[in-house]
Structure 1
Amino acid sequence: MSSQIYGIRAVMEAINAGQPINKIFIQKGIKGELIKELESSARKNGIGLSYVPVEKLNRLTRNNNHQGAVAQISPVEFHQFEELVEQVLNKEETPLFLMLDGVSDVRNFGAIIRTAECCGVHGIIIPKSGAAPITDDTVKTSAGAAFNVPIAKVDHLKDAIFYLQSSGIVITGATEKADDEIYGIDFNQPTAIIMGSEEKGISPSTLNIIEHQAKLPLIGKIGSLNVSVACGVFLYEVVRQRRG
Structure 2
Amino acid sequence: WTKGNHQGVVAWLSPIEYDSLEALLPFLFDSGATPLLMLLDGVTDVRNFGAIARSAELAGVDALVIPAKNSAQITAEAIKTSAGALTKLSVCREKSLLGAVEFLKASGLRVLASKIPSEKALYEVDLTGPVALIVGAEGEGVSEPILRAADEHFWIPQRGTTDSFNVSVAAGIMLYEVMRQRG
Q: Give TM-score scaled by structure 2 length.
A: 0.96
Q: Where is the strand percentage greater, Structure 1 or Structure 2?
A: 1
- Give a deviation string over 1:105-164, Cα, whole Å, max 9, x none: 001000000000000000111110001000000000000000111001111111111111
By how many angstroms is 1:71 displaced? 2.0
SS in structure 1 of the partner of residue 53 of structure 2: helix
- Name which of 10, 33, 40 aligns with 1:100: 40
- Name which of 58, 63, 66 aligns with 1:118: 58
Matched to 2:164, the amino acid is: S
Matched to 1:112, the amino acid is: I
By how many angstroms is 1:218 displaced? 1.4
Moved over 2 A (4+): 63-66
SS in structure 2 of the partner of residue 216 of structure 1: coil
* Structure 2 partner of 1:188: 128
Larger-gyration structure (1/2):
1
SS in structure 2 of the partner of residue 69 of structure 1: coil
SS in structure 1 of the partner of residue 112 of structure 2: strand
SS in structure 2 of the partner of residue 192 of structure 1: strand
For these two proteins, the number of residue pairs brought into alignment is: 183
Equivalent-residue separation in structure 1 for 2:158 and 2:5 (angstroms): 54
SS in structure 1 of the partner of residue 11 of structure 2: strand
SS in structure 2 of the partner of residue 172 of structure 1: strand
CA RMSD of aligned residues (A): 1.4
Equivalent-residue separation in structure 1 for 2:118 and 2:10 (angstroms): 43
Equivalent-residue separation in structure 1 for 2:124 and 2:4 (angstroms): 59
SS in structure 1 of the partner of residue 132 of structure 2: strand
By how many angstroms is 1:177 displaced? 2.5
Q: Does 1:198 align with 2:169?
A: no
Which structure has the higher relative contact order (CA within 8 Å, separation 6+)?
A: 2
* Structure 1 partner of 2:147: 207
Q: Identity of paired residues, percent?
A: 40
* Structure 2 partner of 1:133: 73
Matched to 2:47, the amino acid is: R
Q: Any stretches of 5+ residues in structure 1 without a counterpart? A: 1-5, 8-62
Equivalent-residue separation in structure 2 for 1:86 and 1:227 (angstroms): 29
Q: Give TM-score scaled by structure 1 length.
A: 0.72
Q: Any stretches of 5+ residues in structure 2 without a counterpart? A: none
